[in-house]
Structure 1
Amino acid sequence: MPVFLPATSYEYATVQKVAGDHFVTESDVVAAEEPLEIRVGFGPTGAREHRTLAITMRTPGHDFELTAGFLLTEGLIQSRHDLTGVIYCPDVEKEEERENVVRAELAPHVVADMPRLERHFYTSSSCGVCGKTSIDAVHASSCPVLPTAGPYVAARVIHELPARQREAQALFEQTGGLHAAALFSATGELLLLREDVGRHNALDKVIGAALLNEQLPLHEHIVLVSGRASFELVQKAAVAGIPVLAAVGAPSSLAVQAAADFGMTLLGFVRQQRYNIYTGAWRIQAETPADPSTHHATHSA
């Protein structure tokens, strides 16, 4: 099935290709990277305020999904009903910047603690997260409780995920410069894939699409991310209710700690028919068990 690539998702660059001592000038495709300013409208009807919440570097495309996923995983909204709409902001100074500024309108009942949010985003961007304090904050932000009775995933299914993800990565095949997040069923069916220059953005786009389609929580699903598994990716997956997070690369120590605390199954180095299970090994089965009580015996061992 052909994959449509938005024209804004890539650009062309003139490059010198070198093979041995041979130089050739050619046109090459590179992944587009542009800033996205996320603004929010909040407050009761008749007394609305509009503020800039964050600026993130992203690959243009699926901007509304990215915004919705970002708002959810950062704790500003809890469900689709907290969001009345997302638009490209019409009141920008330069016409060419219009599609780089979005405004999300929060429902009147949503209380937006902007000083706290601004402090959080400043801290996250300047000095990173703070270990257990950050994990506790996720637990306190109405994070969905992950299922304790499945889903059970056949070990062979995990082996199949990277190839299925790569087959659907149209932009990566052209540019070689994008991360991907892919949503699968527990049986390995590819349901959704998004690409971006940022790992976090790619996952936010997937989660945002599920949010806008009112499919959360994703309790029966697997997410595969390219690159390594950081704490932030585990946190975002937990907020969306994703029980199995697989990564092509390695997890960080804090990612492992967070996944264990959330009851999440975390897999790393998922490539070349191998992978490591860091937490939640009971969900991964040599064969899908017929008797759900198998989980309890395995989990308590």
Structure 2
Amino acid sequence: MRLTKRWRVQRMTASGLVHERADELAGEEPLEVRIHGTPFTITMRTPGNDVDLVAGFLVSEGVVRAERDIATISHRGGIGATGERDYNVVDVRLAAGVDLPDTSLQRHVYTSSSCGVCGTASIEAVHKVSAFDVAGDGATVRLDHLLALPERLRAQQAVFGRTGGVHAAALFVPVGGPTAQSEPRLACVREDVGRHNAVDKVVGWALRDGLLPLRGAVLQVSGRASFELVQKAAMAGVPVLSAVSAPSALAVELAEELGLTVVAFNRGETLNAYTHTYRLQAAPTPPGL
């Protein structure tokens, strides 16, 4: 189980010039999620922060909403007959009183690293209802602070810097209250070959730290704003989703319905605001101007 893997490559030019060198590739391995020992799904992910990944996935699926809903979560369920631990298996034991997930919503076979909802068995399961009131979150964020987030995220993308092959998600939380004018604090960064996995790892970290719902927080992602990322943000109570690339039409429609602010094409100088723009505030004019 490796975060990255080195591979010999031949770097070529149009003239046929070849230079052999070592390249570093992002790791990608299957992770089986079990609930009370029963397989629930298999996802392709970059190894690392697996417990956070599974915890965040269960938030996204509506199985849990607080740290207390999980009794145990570990790789112990992957111990085989030989006594060796399989780090590609995570077993979850839900706390007493927490309902097991509806098996009719169980994910078929596996979830790929590029799609977090394409394995969902029932189309009705895609449109989940958050336990948290995102629409009622009165958070505001200054535009100059928001525009600075992609670069702050990029500076923390260690695996991307080595491989160029992973997505990233970062959680920025308000300092001094949800409507404060202070620059938000970077609370957590996670990387993965799957953009939805990176978000699940961030949400799972927040769940295990007892931070849900994430009132006043901004979720910054390194790629596009898809339907599934809007859904994951809403399920964690995040009021603002910021993406470097484009949003999808379905993502914008869902965000509008849920009361979540979506900005995209956030490249540091300008951004496009698509929904609930009342949360975005202009930077104050410097004194003397």
Residues of 2 paired with 1:265 and 1:247: CA distance? 11
Q: 1:94–1:165: structure 2 CA closer, same or farther, 3 Å change rule?
A: farther
What residue number does 1:247 align with? 243
Matched, 1:277 2:273: yes
How far off its partner does 1:127 sit?
7.7
- 2:87 maps to 99
The TM-score, its normalising length taken from structure 2, stands at 0.86
TM-superposed deviation, 1:97: 7.0
Aligned pairs for 1:7-86 within 5 A: 8-21=2-15, 22-41=17-36, 50-86=37-73
Work out whether residues 225 and 248 of structure 1, in 8 Å CA contact, stay in contact via their aligned partners in 2: yes
Cα distance in 2 between the residues matched to 1:109 and 1:205:
25
Alignment partner, residue 165 of structure 2: 177
TM-score, length basis structure 1? 0.83
Following superposition, the deviation at residue 117 of structure 1 comes to 2.6
1:146 Cα shift?
Answer: 1.4
Query: Which deviations, in whole Å up to 9, do the C-alpha atoms of 1:27-54 show, x marking residues without a partner?
Result: 111100000000111xxxxxxxx20000
Check whether the contact 1:147–1:219 (CA below 8 A) recurs between aligned residues.
Answer: no
Which residue of structure 2 lines up, in the alignment, with residue 207 of structure 1? 203
Q: Secondary structure at the match of 2:87?
A: helix
Distance 1:284 1:81, change over 3 A: same
Q: CA 1:111–1:208 in 2, change beyond 3 Å: closer, same or farther?
A: same
Query: Within 2, Cα distance between the matches of 1:35 and 1:95?
Result: 20
1:98-117, aligned counterparts within 5 Å?
98-117=86-105
TM-fit CA distance, 1:85: 1.2
* Matching of residue 166 in structure 1 with residue 154 in structure 2: yes
Residues 29, 46 of structure 2: 8 Å contact kept: yes
Instruction: For residue 262 of structure 2, give the secondary structure of its aligned residue in structure 1.
Output: strand
> Superposed, which structure 2 residues align to 1:131-280 within 5 Å?
137-139=127-129, 142-146=130-134, 148=136, 150-186=138-174, 187-280=183-276
Aligned-partner residue type, residue 166 of structure 1: R
Q: Contact (CA 8 Å) 1:160, 1:188: kept in 2 or not?
A: no
Q: Deviations over 1:249-291 (max 9, x none)?
A: 1111110011011111001111141110000100001137xxx
What is the one-letter code of the residue matched to 1:17?
Answer: R
Name structure 1 gaps, 5 residues minimum. 1-6, 42-49, 289-301
CA distance in structure 1 between the partners assigned to 2:265 and 2:109 by the alignment:
30
Decide whether aligned partners of structure 1 residues 223 and 13 sit closer, same or farther in structure 2, where only a CA change above 3 A counts.
same
| Closer/same/farther in 2, CA of residues 207 and 119 from structure 1, 3 Å limit | closer
Conserved in 1, the CA contact under 8 Å of 2:79 and 2:85? no
Q: Could you tell me how far apart the structure 2 residues matched to 1:254 and 1:120 are? A: 23
Q: Please give the secondary structure, in 1, of the residue aligned with 2:274.
A: strand
Alpha-carbon separation, structure 2, partners of 1:240 and 1:31: 27
Query: Who is 1:293 aligned against?
Result: none
Paired residues for 1:281-296 under 5 Å: 281-287=277-283
Q: Give the secondary-structure state (helix, strand or coil) at the position aligned to 1:64.
A: helix
Post-superposition offset of 1:120: 7.7
Contact 1:161 1:188 in 2 (8 A): no
Is the 2:140–2:280 Cα contact (8 Å) retained in structure 1?
yes
Aligned to 1:292: none
Deviation for aligned residue 1:92: 3.0
| Contact kept in structure 1, 2:104 and 2:122, CA below 8 Å | no
Kindly state the Cα deviation for residue 138 of structure 1 after the two structures are TM-superposed.
Answer: 2.0
CA positional deviation for 1:147: 5.3
Uncovered stretches (5+) of structure 2, i.e. residues with no partner? 112-116, 175-182, 285-289
Cα distance, 1:94 vs structure 2: 7.2
Q: Distance in 2 between matches of 1:58 and 1:94?
A: 25
> Whole-Å Cα distance in 2 between the matches of residues 57 and 95 of structure 1?
24
Q: How many residues align?
A: 270
Partner SS for 2:106: helix
Report the Cα distance in structure 1 between the residues aligned to 2:12 and 2:110, rounded to whole angstroms. Answer: 42
CA distance in 2, matches of 1:264, 1:63: 27
- Looking at structure 1, the residues matched to 276 and 83 of structure 2 have their Cα atoms a distance apart, in angstroms, of 49
SS at match of 1:258: helix
Contact persistence 2:151–2:268 (CA under 8 A) = no
**1:115 offset after TM fit, Å?**
2.0
Paired letter, 1:23 = V
Q: Provide the alpha-carbon RMSD of the alignment.
A: 2.5
